[in-house]
Amino acid sequence: MLQIGIRLHDVNTAAAPEEQTLEARAARARQEGFSCVHLALQKAVRGVEFDAAAMTEGLAAYIKRVFARERLDVAVLGCYLNLAHPEPDRLAEIKSRYYAHLRVAALAGAGMVGTETGAPNAAYKYDAETHGEAALAAFTRNLADVAAEAERRGVTLAIEPVWNHIVYNADRARRVLESIGSRNLRIIFDPVNLLCPENADARERVIGEAMDTLGEHIAMVHLKDFVRDGGRLVSMAAGTGEMDYTAILRFLKARKPFVQATLENTTNDNAVAARELIESVYAQV
């Protein structure tokens, strides 16, 4: 059985972002039929800086209480900061935030701390060096420190390959896993994030190879769609673009029973329809 969730910051319960609470968002997610959430605190709770100092034991208890009341799992506690940042002071602060997120994840019972894989510049933007070996080495070196802390905490740390980041395909992801060699280091599988304008027409091959290469290490899944717009790919809610989920859901059904899969890029108007589409395809594969 597939456990379908949603990014909590895609659930809107008030006109003004700063007026939206975790409690209200969680309640709506449950009402819409979701069983888990992807929780990025910085996006879900506006007006609070979730630096290392803010990541307290009390916050962990609060998170645990809010989501238990709604019978929702926190599938992922997101910490999407640049582990290849070139400035040493800023990099040290970024690592401290990862360590703090791991502590809160352990106390709150979150499934994992999730992250993407950065860029070798302060702007966290794709550039000519992003897919190079030096960037990969820097990211891997810094990720190893965070993975070691994940082991000490008994928490899963999961990286998400994204085409315009350092770890841009399945082979790079496998190299990182093998280099660090931690049983606590896993993969968040987002099929659309492996695509770019140049390989979008070969998406069945690209995604299929990723499932073959990383299948053992996939801990959870992100599901969304995409459309093409002026030479770029734009992420959309599931069922509103070009994606065919048959092969992906067949893989999950055969290899990943009860895996958690959170929808991305949904709105209040299409979240339920996206969930129902995924459930329908999953039932037929």
pTM strictly above 0.85: yes
Whether residue 18 has pLDDT greater than 80: no
The residue written with tokens 């019978």 in the block is 71
Give the confidence band of 16 by pLDDT, cuts at 50, 70, 90: confident
Burial category of 3 from C-beta neighbours within 10 Å (exposed 0-12, middle 13-18, buried 19 and up):
middle
User: Hey, what are 142's tokens?
Assistant: 């810094």
Q: Looking at residue 14, what is its pLDDT?
A: 83
Cβ neighbours of residue 204 closer than 8 Å, sequence gap 6 or more: 244, 247
Q: Is residue 135 very low, low, confident or very high in pLDDT (cuts 50, 70, 90)?
A: very high
Asked if the model's pLDDT at residue 19 lies above 90, the reply is no
- pLDDT at residue 75, rounded to an integer: 98
Q: According to the model, what pLDDT value does residue 236 have?
A: 97
What burial class does residue 145 get, using C-beta atoms within 10 Å of its C-beta: 0-12 exposed, 13-18 middle, 19+ buried? middle
User: Per-residue pLDDT tens for 196-230?
Assistant: 999 999 999 999 999 999 999 999 999 999 999 98
Q: Name the pLDDT band for 17 (thresholds 50, 70, 90).
A: confident
The per-residue pLDDT for 274 is 98
Angle of helix 203-214 relative to helix 170-180, nearest 10 degrees, comes to 10
Backbone angles phi, psi at 128, to 5 degrees: -65, -20
Mean pLDDT of the chain: 97
Q: Identify whether the C-beta of residue 193 lies closer than 8 Å to the C-beta of residue 223.
A: no
Give me the pLDDT at residue 229, please: 94
Pick from 70, 164, 54: nearest CA to 103: 54
**Residue-level pLDDT at 15:** 78
Would you kindly state where each structural domain of the chain is located, as residue ranges? 3-223+245-284
Which CATH class for the 3-223+245-284 domain? Answer: alpha beta
Rg (CA), the chain: 18
Residue 185 CA: distances (Å) to CA of 5, 115, 144, 171: 22, 11, 9, 16
